[in-house]
């Protein structure tokens, strides 16, 4: 059985959780792969590490309906946008995957934060 629905989470929140977990996964992959690709990837590694941390925590705080998830969501959105801008400049498959996935996460975090 896959997790169907958290009791408190409407469709918008569940979508934001899913987007954050996708963002965290792709950034874990990208940060790790970039470590083997030389010092010009330093900024990419750093931003991906921050996104992986905050998107994971944001998903967990939404899952438990923490009183501060919106505040965390704002930072998550900012970081996803900055990281996507960095990643789209690199041709690696992992960087291109980041550049495609992170803007959607940023958008749903903004919507959740202002809901």
Which residues here bind its own copies, judged by CB under 8 A? 1-3, 6-8, 17-18, 21-22, 24-26, 28-29, 31-33, 35-39, 41-42, 45-47, 49-50, 52-54, 56-57, 59-61, 63-68, 71-72, 74-75, 78-79, 93-94, 97, 100-101, 104
Q: Other C-beta atoms within 10 Å of 51: how many?
A: 29
Q: Which is nearer to its own copies, 59 or 106 (CB)?
A: 59
The whole-angstrom separation of Cα 102 and Cα 23 is 6
User: Rounded CA gap, 77 and 80, in Å?
Assistant: 5
Q: Is 115 exposed, middle or buried (0-12, 13-18, 19+ CB in 10 A)?
A: exposed
In angstroms, what is the minimal distance from the CB of 83 to its own copies? 11
The nearer residue to its own copies, 6 or 111, going by C-beta atoms, is: 6
- Among 13, 102, 19, smallest CA distance to 64 is for 13
Q: What is the closest distance, in whole angstroms, from the C-beta atom of residue 86 to its own copies in the complex?
A: 11
């Amino acid at each position: 059985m896959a997790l169907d629905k958290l009791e408190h989470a409407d469709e918008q929140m569940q979508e934001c959780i899913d987007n954050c977990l996708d963002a965290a996964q792709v950034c874990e992959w990208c940060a790790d792969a970039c470590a083997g690709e030389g010092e010009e990837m330093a900024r990419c590694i750093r931003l991906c590490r921050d996104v992986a941390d905050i998107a994971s925590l944001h998903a967990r705080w939404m899952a438990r309906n923490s009183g501060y998830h919106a505040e965390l969501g704002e930072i998550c959105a900012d970081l996803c946008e900055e990281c996507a801008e960095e990643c789209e400049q690199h041709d690696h498959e992992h960087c291109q995957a980041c550049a495609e996935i992170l803007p959607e996460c940023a958008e749903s975090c903004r919507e959740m934060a202002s809901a």
